[in-house]
Structure 1
Amino acid sequence: MQFAEHLDLADSQSPQGVGRVVAALASDARVMAFTGQSLHVAELARRYGVDIFT
């Protein structure tokens, strides 16, 4: 957080929210469909119905 004043953290997610998205992704039977892709936490959260801000 030493550089927080220089960064726009308005759209950042909580560590717990990111963990919930990772858990949802890991439990998806079709997870291999994402191989080789760059994934965005916010997009995955919408896909899996995960709250990333709390």
Structure 2
Amino acid sequence: MAGLTAAPKVMPGLPYAKGLQEAAGAGFLLYCSIAAVLLSLKFWYAIRNSGGRS
């Protein structure tokens, strides 16, 4: 069991994979925040213009 816990520290490319994972997480949060802003703007315009048409 001790060998299994020490193995991930020696694997080549692990820092690169961690960097990719952090970048993917940041990109996902950015995507979600932009989607939330666009949806809230869409609802705001829909509520604002709902009484104008008949």
TM-score range, shorter chain: 0.3 to 0.5
The structure with the larger Rg is 2
- Identify the structure with bigger relative contact order (alpha carbons < 8 Å, sequence gap 6+): 1
Query: Which TM-score applies when normalising by structure 1?
Result: 0.33
TM-score by length of 2: 0.33
